[in-house]
Amino acid sequence: MTLERLLVLAFLVFSIGLFGVLARRHVIAVLLSLELMFNSVNLAILALAWHHGWLEGVILVLFGIAITVAEVAVGLSLFLLAERVRDTVNVDDLSRLKG
């Protein structure tokens, strides 16, 4: 019962984050929505680990958090570079890599 509620909550936050990634225009807004999705995945993993008593879940979440921090550092520096070179903060204007 509680596990299901926790997972539904994590799925809800995941979907909200997905909407933000698809619908926001500012690059940092997209990045923040992405964090929302990462965070809900971690919550789902830990809820399952708690229900089944898996210690591995804790390790997995710890690794996930560290990887997310690395991802944010690189993502933000890419954003700063894009803003400086192309002079825009809008994801629609950053489409030069499209074929």
- Residues lying near another protein in the complex (CB under 8 A) are found at 1-9, 11-20, 22-26, 28-29, 31-33, 35-36, 39, 42-43, 46-47, 49-53, 55, 57-59, 61-63, 65-74, 76-81, 83-84, 89-92
Angle at 17 between CA 42 and CA 71, to 5 degrees: 60
Instruction: Give the Å distances, CA to CA, from 48 to 4, 14, 17, 52.
Output: 9, 16, 21, 6
Minimum distance, C-beta of residue 15 to another protein, in the bound complex (Å): 4
Q: Are 21 and 75 in contact (CB under 8 A)?
A: no
Minimum distance, C-beta of residue 96 to another protein, in the bound complex (Å): 16
Nearer to another protein, 58 or 99 (CB): 58
Nearer to another protein, 11 or 96 (CB): 11
Two structure tokens written together for 67: 């990887």
Minimum distance, C-beta of residue 99 to another protein, in the bound complex (Å): 20
Minimum distance, C-beta of residue 49 to another protein, in the bound complex (Å): 6
Two structure tokens written together for 77: 């520096």
Two structure tokens written together for 69: 């921090």
